[in-house]
Amino acid sequence: MSEVLVVGSLAYDSVKTPSGKAERSLGGSANYFSVSSSLFSKVRVVGVVGSDYSDADREILKQRGVDLDGMQVVAGKTFHWEGTYEHNLNEAVTLKTELNVFADFNPELPAQYKDTRFVFLANIDPVLQLKVLSQIQKPLFVGMDSMNFWIDSKQADLIEVMKKVDIVFVNEGEAKMLTQEDNAIVAIKKVAALGPEYVVVKRGEYGSTVYSKTHGFFQCPALPVEKVVDPTGAGDSFAGGFFGYLASLRPSGQEHKPTWTELKQATLAGTVMSSQTIQDFSLKALAKVDKSSYQSLSADLVKMITV
């Protein structure tokens, strides 16, 4: 298999949902992505934490074999996000964003990371996404995520990144916002027209729509979940499963990009992983997924979409 590199936030989250709350528990896109992706492949993390970041939280990644050489530790506090989900569990309301050590984050890749073939630029400043990508010598397959904040404040930079990646992951609402389109299908195509061959629009409990400029649409429903405890990290868990699965199919040395069929299989992998994340706070449910439970959930999903 090939390695997967992710750059993103390593955070402490305080989250309140109709099911309860979690105070300063482990979160951040790079954490969700890594734990999910590491079920399938070796993962390299690029990010920054403060001196308050606990060994126990580091251990969660280490136990999954995640390479932390790219995790910078600097004096100060770890990035802290506080949010709440009301009745509509599909949409977080941000109450507080304390960037802390993340404010001056300057991603420098360890030398041994520069040959990574599968690269995921999680939701951070698009200028930093570009900076990370420029340090990779010869990426095979690059994905990115973003959020409404960057669509508003740094749209030109964001579009620069989109031109350089193979696949964009975006929420339905963000796709509409970015393209100023009400119709999700038109919005997806307009995102693809900005550059990437593939666009994945994440639609929460309704699953995801994958669009390829060459192959058209693939529609993947979500796994039915009877109790959504905390949707935080669902999108990054999805992308993690997606990328980890793809990298697992390419022994290093194999040079061709993922095929359309492989991308569809990867969508199922992402769907399974995100369905688990949302069933508990923080990374608790996600970290429990092992090869055996994954296989079983994956079989359930295939059964549910097979005529």
Encode burial over 60-84: b for 16+ CB neighbours within 10 A, e otherwise: bbeebebbbebbeeeebbbbbbbbe
The single residue among 261, 293, 295, 296 that binds a copy of itself, judged by CB under 8 A, is 261
In the region spanning residues 195 to 254, those forming contacts with a copy of itself, defined by CB under 8 A, are 203, 205-207, 209, 216-222, 224-228
CB of 121 to a copy of itself, least distance (A): 26
CA 281 to chain centroid, in Å, comes to: 17
Cβ proximity to a copy of itself: between 136 and 225 the closer is 225
Q: 29 with 122: CB under 8 angstroms?
A: yes
Q: How many whole angstroms separate alpha carbon 37 and alpha carbon 9? A: 15
Binding of a copy of itself at residue 95 (CB under 8 A)? Answer: no
Q: Is 87 in the site for a copy of itself (CB under 8 A)?
A: yes
Q: How big is the CA angle at 14 (ends 12 and 19), to the nearest 5 degrees? A: 135
Reduced to 3 states (helix: H, G, I; strand: E, B; else coil), residue 285 is: helix
Answer yes or no whether residue 55 interacts with a copy of itself by CB under 8 A: no
Edge-first strand order for the sheet with 92-98 is: 20-27, 11-17, 79-85, 92-98
Sign (positive or negative) of CA dihedral 175, 179, 181, 185: negative
Per-state percent for the chain, helix, strand, coil, to nearest 5: 40, 25, 35
Lay out the site mask for a copy of itself across 264-303 (x = CB under 8 A, - = otherwise). xx--x---------------------------------xx
Q: Residue for token digits 């916002």?
A: 177
Decide whether 164 or 215 has the Cβ nearer to a copy of itself: 215
Nearest distance in Å: CB 188, a copy of itself = 8
**Residue 305 binds a copy of itself, judged by CB under 8 A:** yes
Which residue, 3 or 197, is less far from a copy of itself as judged by CB? 197
Which 3-state string (H, E, C) describes 74-121?
Answer: CCCCCEEEEEEECCCCCCEEEEEEECHHHHHCCCCCCHHHCCCCEEEE
Residues 13-52 that bind a copy of itself (CB under 8 A): none
Q: How far is the CB of 267 from a copy of itself (least distance, A)?
A: 8
Between 19 and 97, CB nearer to a copy of itself? 19
Fill in the per-residue mask, 156 to 195: x = in contact with a copy of itself (CB under 8 A), - = not in contact.
--------------------------xxxxx---------
Least Å from the CB of residue 269 to a copy of itself? 11
Task: Give me the DSSP letters along 151-204.
Answer: HHH-HHHHHHHHHH-SEEEEEHHHHHHHHT-SSHHHHHHHHHHTS-SEEEEE-G
CB of 180 to a copy of itself, least distance (A): 14
Smallest gap, in angstroms, from Cβ of residue 44 to a copy of itself?
28
Pick the closer one to a copy of itself by CB: 146 or 209. 209
- Positions touching a copy of itself (CB under 8 A) are 87, 182-186, 203, 205-207, 209, 216-222, 224-228, 261, 264-265, 268, 302-305, 307
